[in-house]
């Protein structure tokens, strides 16, 4: 996004400044400084000025890519706006992870009183800020699925200039190496396949099961019928998937 003249006053040598300002408002929005030795791509199609999120794909040479998002979520959002914000974050994470399968995730910002539990339920993210960030409240959060940063956590620093939120730093860790890949068998489940399965189940003639008197045979007929429909619309496929560690779970969804 193009910089305005005032934003040039905040330039720092060796870093690129990216800003996403909220529309129809003086002040507000989010800003990110990115070190110039990182390859960075703005995911502009995901960035949402209405809820103040800014999405990037970043990569250091020889390292795995990172999906990075910074967010500002105002306090006491009306339910509709809160639901829209949650839907935006979850759907963007899902699309990003699907497109960049080897990427790791960093999601950070001022979340105020926003309920983030559904995000951590749906994605393998850990929130690593363990201390209050404004007076006695923990408003500024960092979510990641990078084990090294989950283990080291982050550090509370004094506020910068007139800001009344504390600053947060994360200790440097080894670069996140690119993963090896392995072939796995998985089913590609899509919204369309779910609809097709539902429609076929609803239109199936179950008379053969109703007429069967033996309970075990009824169960076997039912299992066979459902499996046939499932295999028809969601067949198993061999795909390449990143293999981070031997004990990492690779989702089949």
SS (H, E, C) 103-171: CEEEEEEECCCCCCHHHHHHCCCEECCCCCCECCECCEEEEECCHHHHHHCCEEECCCCCCCCCEEECC
pLDDT band at 94 (very low <50, low <70, confident <90, very high): confident
Rounded to whole angstroms, the Cα distance separating 226 from 234 reads: 12
Structure tokens at 186: 């998985």
Tens-place pLDDT, residues 54-65: 999 998 877 889
Rounded to whole angstroms, the Cα distance separating 112 from 140 reads: 7
Average pLDDT taken over every residue of the chain: 83
**Minimal CA–CA distance to 158: which of 138, 134, 140, 141?**
134
Percentage of the chain exceeding pLDDT 70 = 82
Is pLDDT above 90 for 141? Answer: yes
Q: For the chain, give the number of residues.
A: 253
Say if residues 132 and 138 touch (Cβ distance below 8 Å): yes
Cα angle for residues 101, 103, 105 (degrees, 5° grid): 125
H or E segment and range at residue 82: helix 79-99
**Minimal CA–CA distance to 160: which of 10, 49, 19, 17?**
10
State residue 27's pLDDT score.
60
Q: What DSSP string describes 7-72?
A: HHTT--TTEEEEEEPPTTSSS--EEEEEETTSEEEE-TTT-BTTTTEEEEEEE-TTB--EEEEEEE
Tens-place pLDDT, residues 149-207: 898 889 999 998 888 999 999 887 665 555 566 777 877 777 678 888 988 998 999 99
Rounded to whole angstroms, the Cα distance separating 206 from 153 reads: 55
H or E segment and range at residue 216: helix 215-233
State residue 167's pLDDT score.
94
Tens-place pLDDT, residues 227-248: 999 889 888 887 766 664 433 3
State residue 234's pLDDT score.
87
Domains of the chain as residue ranges with CATH: 5-169 (3.60.10.10), 180-243 (no CATH)
Q: What is the mean pLDDT of residues 212-223?
A: 91
Rounded to whole angstroms, the Cα distance separating 187 from 251 reads: 10
């Amino acid at each position: 996004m193009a910089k305005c003249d005032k934003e040039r006053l905040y330039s720092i040598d060796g870093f690129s400044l990216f800003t996403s300002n909220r529309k129809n408002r003086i002040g507000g929005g989010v800003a990110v400084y990115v070190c110039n030795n990182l390859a960075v791509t703005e995911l502009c199609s995901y960035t949402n000025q209405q809820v103040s999120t800014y999405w990037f794909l970043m990569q250091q040479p020889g390292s795995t890519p990172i999906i990075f998002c910074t967010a500002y979520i105002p306090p006491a959002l009306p339910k509709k706006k809160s639901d829209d914000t949650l839907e935006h974050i979850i759907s963007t994470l899902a699309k990003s992870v699907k497109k960049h399968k080897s990427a790791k995730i960093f999601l950070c910002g001022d979340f105020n009183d926003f309920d983030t539990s559904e995000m951590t339920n749906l994605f393998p993210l850990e929130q690593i800020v363990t201390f209050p960030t404004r007076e006695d409240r923990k408003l500024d959060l960092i979510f990641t699925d990078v084990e090294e940063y989950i283990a080291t956590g982050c550090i509370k620093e004094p506020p910068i200039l007139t800001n009344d939120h504390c600053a947060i730093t994360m200790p440097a860790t080894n670069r996140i190496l690119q993963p090896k890949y392995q072939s796995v068998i998985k089913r590609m489940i899509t919204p369309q396949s779910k609809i097709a399965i539902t429609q076929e189940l609803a239109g199936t003639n179950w008379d053969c099961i109703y007429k069967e008197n033996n309970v075990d045979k009824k169960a076997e007929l039912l299992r066979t019928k459902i499996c046939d429909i499932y295999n028809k619309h969601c067949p198993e496929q061999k795909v390449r998937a990143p293999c981070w560690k031997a004990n990492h779970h690779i989702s089949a969804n």
